[in-house]
Amino acid sequence: MISESNIIDEVLPLLDIITILIIEDDPIIGIVLVTLLKLVTEDRIARISLILLVIVLGIINFEY
């Protein structure tokens, strides 16, 4: 059985890549954002929450 820790470790890099791709205007901003999130947040669940917030806000901003 796969533990929750292993699943989170596999999902985080995918979310990082999606975050960089969502910020289409300037991918450098996405890379800096992901790097800052890695440095600032040690809790993986909090980091996932912040990345998902950025993705949702990026999609909302893209639609308008």
At residue 41, the pLDDT reads 81
Q: Which tens digits make up the pLDDT trace of 21-46? A: 777 666 777 778 778 888 888 888 88
Q: What is the pTM of this model?
A: 0.65
Amino acid in the structure at residue 21: L
Q: Which tens digits make up the pLDDT trace of 2-17? A: 666 677 788 888 888 8
Tokens of 53: 């917030």
Q: Which tens digits make up the pLDDT trace of 40-49? A: 888 888 888 8
Nearest-10 Cα torsion for 31, 6, 43, 35: -10
Q: How far apart are CA 53 and CA 51, in angstroms?
A: 5
